[in-house]
Amino acid sequence: MSSIKEEPKLKKIVDAADGLSLGISIVVAVLIGVGIGIGLKSVFGYGWLFWLGVFWGIAAAILNVYKAYKKQKASLDELANDPRYNYKALKDDEDDDGEY
């Protein structure tokens, strides 16, 4: 048996899906905002309501990016505090006088 831990076969797929979900959520947020804007424009007849919907969609997309950033930052901070990744200075085995 090997002493190296094997990663699950689906780990790469799950990591890729996590990154892909951010891109999909950005597109969906903007499209929903555009849809709301079109709906508001058709109901009330004001053209600027379309742009209000677009703004809401873009704001929602920016919020999704911010949430993903916070999630990644928390994961990185967790790794930074892990003792496996801390720097350890090598002990100096020589005497102070320089003789062996």
Q: Where are the domains of the chain?
A: 11-78
CB count within 10 Å of CB 33 equals 22
**What's at 85, amino acid-wise?**
Y
Q: Which two tokens stand for residue 83?
A: 């003792």
Q: What is the DSSP letter of 86?
A: S
Q: Write down the pTM of the prediction.
A: 0.68
Query: Is the pLDDT assigned to residue 2 strictly greater than 60?
Result: no
pLDDT in tens, 34-85: 999 999 999 999 999 999 999 999 999 999 999 999 998 988 888 888 877 7
Question: How far apart are alpha carbons 63 and 32 in whole angstroms?
Answer: 14
Task: Give me the residue label for tokens 């990185």.
Answer: 76
Question: How far apart are alpha carbons 20 and 14 in whole angstroms?
Answer: 10
Question: How far apart are alpha carbons 84 and 98 in whole angstroms?
Answer: 32
Residue, of 25 and 75, whose pLDDT is higher: 25
Predicted confidence at residue 1, as pLDDT, reads 46
Q: Are 50 and 38 in contact (CB under 8 A)?
A: yes
